[in-house]
Amino acid sequence: MRPRRFVPAGPLKGRIRVPGDKSISHRSIMLGALAVGETRVTGLLEGEDVLATAAAMRAMGAHVERTGEGAWTINGVGVGALLQPEAPLEMGNSGTSTRLLMGLVSSHPITASFTGDASLSKRPMGRVITPLSQMGASFEASDRANSSQTLPLIVRGASPAVPITYRLPVASAQVKSAILLAGLNTPGTTTVIEPVPTRDHSERMLRGFGADLTVETDAEGARVITIRGEAELRPQVIDVPGDPSSAAFFLVAALVTPGSDVVIENVGLNPTRAGIVEVLTAMGGRIEKLNEREVGGEPVADLHVRHSALKGIEVDPQVAPSMIDEFPALFVAAALAEGVTVTSGLDELRVKESDRLAVMAQALIAAGARIEEREDGLVITGTGGEPLRGTAGEDTIETHLDHRIAMSMAIAGIASREGVLIDDTRPIATSFPVFETMLDTLAQDSAQG
């Protein structure tokens, strides 16, 4: 365990560039590994989750190599030609790696065993097991004492797999992507119906790699995504934009710390990801989009953010999927806003790396915030801009192996009187290895004037 007390900082000032988008980084490696020829990626997130994907694709035959900071080349094996891994695929803390790779394995004639850390081993896999079983794959608990819906699991792929039409029962880009990736090596047309739109990186990137994929909207407004199987993918050159989910911590930190003025460069603002910018702006946050452009087929801008007097709002549950990983950071902003913030429709937060509703409620209450936990959201009464009390003495916030809890409570710490002591900062490296350095540099730069 690596505990740390995050203490009040002066104004945050300067320019930063957050690491590459985690979702796009995972997919760059997976699709590169399935294309024949060399895919070149720059700006890849070198976090533990993405490294787990890289190791797994190597274990299944692809050549995945780091050539410089964030620069990687992938020489793929071709769709249908993944090799059977000799050892269990170690997924660490990463739900995205696990669920998307289960999709890939499901339509290849191979068997793979998946393991994960204590957090990942509690997360529900039934949501991918159901559709992938319909496609012909089979799943078995590798430890018989265990449930067959959680890791560790053995997946036996089907050859050929059977194309399905599947309506998503939960708004999940991971489930959608698992089915589309399985569909890549399935004869015929695989269809996913998505009543609530989720991040569309898989669709954009599969198209970019040359897959025959269409997206239509049906009479009820649901997205209907079809992919024609036995695809041939062409290698690509990909520049990964900065991760809006990582930028969110610095947006909130600058908004709640008096005197702050920060530019976050190169932030991906795909509309299926940018909900946090909308919601913080609606709360009165001063966030300006500069230099709007396209990077790697995704809309991108530099975000100029300044300390602001935030007001509580009712957050429309419809925006939830476009900021699903940003709620822990939003809860911190709400705890420092004036008035009440009401969130709802957030049941999915209970099955992330931790139960993010319960854990954030407990953590923020321990730091002096006023929170009511409901079944599907939090109701937060803010301080009106006054710093939170923080945690006293040895009182420690438990982060439950959840990087986003650790980073959110770090931000709560810098916006508190006494600081906030966190039990373990190690999980931060799963998605944002340079988070602490960036935070310390921004605070120090302003201290040096």
Cβ proximity to ligand S3P, 301 vs 324, nearer residue: 324
To the question of whether residue 174 is assigned a binding role by annotation, the answer is: yes
Q: Provide the edge-to-edge strand list for the sheet that holds 111-115.
A: 89-90, 111-115, 153-156, 138-141
Residues that bind ligand PEP (CB under 6 A): 49, 94-96, 325, 352-353, 404, 431
- State the binding partner of 348 from ligand S3P, ligand PEP, none, CB within 5 to 8 A by kind: ligand S3P
Cβ proximity to ligand PEP, 99 vs 307, nearer residue: 99
Q: Can residue 192 be called a binding residue for ligand S3P (CB under 6 A)?
A: no
- State the binding partner of 404 from ligand PEP, ligand S3P, none, CB within 5 to 8 A by kind: ligand PEP
To the question of whether residue 325 is assigned a binding role by annotation, the answer is: yes
User: Which of positions 5-24 make contact with ligand S3P (CB under 6 A)?
Assistant: 23
b (16+ CB within 10 A) / e for 88-110: bbbbbbbbbbbbbbbbbbbbbeb
Q: Can residue 324 be called a binding residue for ligand S3P (CB under 6 A)?
A: yes
Residue 136 phi, psi (nearest 5): 115, -10
To the question of whether residue 95 is assigned a binding role by annotation, the answer is: yes
Residues ≥6 apart with Cβ < 8 Å to 177:
27, 99, 100, 103, 202
For residue 379, the cross-strand partners are 342, 372
Cβ proximity to ligand S3P, 261 vs 355, nearer residue: 355
Token couple for 369 = 């915030």
To the question of whether residue 356 is assigned a binding role by annotation, the answer is: yes
212 carries an active-site annotation:
no
Smallest separation, CB 74 to ligand PEP (Å)? 20
- CA angle centred on 305, ends 301 and 308, rounded to 5°: 150
Smallest separation, CB 204 to ligand S3P (Å)? 12
Smallest separation, CB 23 to ligand S3P (Å)? 3
Q: Can residue 173 be called a binding residue for ligand S3P (CB under 6 A)?
A: yes
From the candidates 117, 200, 325, 424, give the one annotated as an active-site residue: 325
Distances (CA, A) of 151 to 52, 205, 275, 399, 411: 15, 28, 31, 21, 32
User: Which of positions 76-95 make contact with ligand S3P (CB under 6 A)?
Assistant: 95
- State the binding partner of 353 from ligand PEP, ligand S3P, none, CB within 5 to 8 A by kind: ligand PEP
- State the binding partner of 94 from ligand S3P, ligand PEP, none, CB within 5 to 8 A by kind: ligand PEP
Cβ proximity to ligand S3P, 94 vs 308, nearer residue: 94
**Residues with active-site annotation:** 325
Chain contacts with ligand S3P (rule: CB under 6 A): 23, 95-96, 172-174, 177, 199, 324-325, 348
Q: Which residues are annotated as a binding site for 3-phosphoshikimate?
A: 22-23, 27, 172, 174, 325, 352
